[in-house]
Structures are given as C-alpha cells and as structure tokens.
Amino acid sequence: MMTRMKLKTGDMVKVLRGKNAGKTGKVSQALPQLNAVVVDGVNVTIRHLRSQKRGEKGQRVEFFAPISVANLAFICPKCQKPTRVGYHLSTGENGNTVKSRQCKKCKETF
C-alpha cells in the first residue's frame, strides 16, 4: 500500500534520526515508490566502481542516498521551524476547490 508523500522537490527538511540527525537540506528528488527522498548534503554514500578496461584504476563515487520520509521533518518557509504538513481546502477564483499544503504550527499555506 502506497501512501501519499507530503514532501516535494525543493522543500527544506531537517533530519530527525540516524547518523545525520540535526542536519538540514533541500529535497532534490522524491521517490514515492520507496517512500523516501534524496536530500542535498545529507546521507553521503560512497560506491566503489570497478575499472572498465584492464590497466585502468577503479573509482570511488560519492552520492546522496535516499532517506525515509519518516526520519524527516518539513521546515516551514515562514516560521523556519520543523513541523508537520497538513492540507487546506479553499475556493479558487473560478469557484472550484483548491487543495494546498499548510504548516501545522503557524497555519501558513504554501
């Protein structure tokens, strides 16, 4: 069962658990199938690559590995505090209903 992720690309998040706890960064990629996101500057992993041809040296490639959404907290753009994300329904200019995300602490919609 896949749940809807409340974090999107470009959001600022804070890591709550793990070896990177306390670090903040911007979400660069969302992976809803894994319920995880890739955060810039957090969870740096090294992958060792074998040489392609004989005589060449192998490589060490550093990249940012995905982190579970359960270990992250969204940082509100207005109050700059880690918070949960809620949804707010409002009527748009054409009379249709618009669903927008909302900070649970300061009630600011974004």
Tell me the per-residue pLDDT of 25-53, one tens digit each, with 9 for 90 and over.
999 999 999 999 999 999 999 999 998 88
Cα 36 from chain centroid (whole Å)? 7
Q: Is the pLDDT of residue 6 over 60?
A: yes
Domains present along the chain, CATH in parentheses: 1-75 (2.30.30.30), 83-110 (no CATH)
Q: What would the DSSP string read from start to end of 52-90?
A: SSTT---EEEEEEPPEEGGGEEEEPTTT--EE-EEEEEE
pTM for this structure? 0.80
Average pLDDT, the chain: 90
Higher pLDDT, 58 or 92: 58
Sign of the dihedral through C-alpha 101, 84, 72, 24: positive
CA dist., res. 75 & res. 28, Å (int): 15
How much is the average pLDDT of 77-103? 89
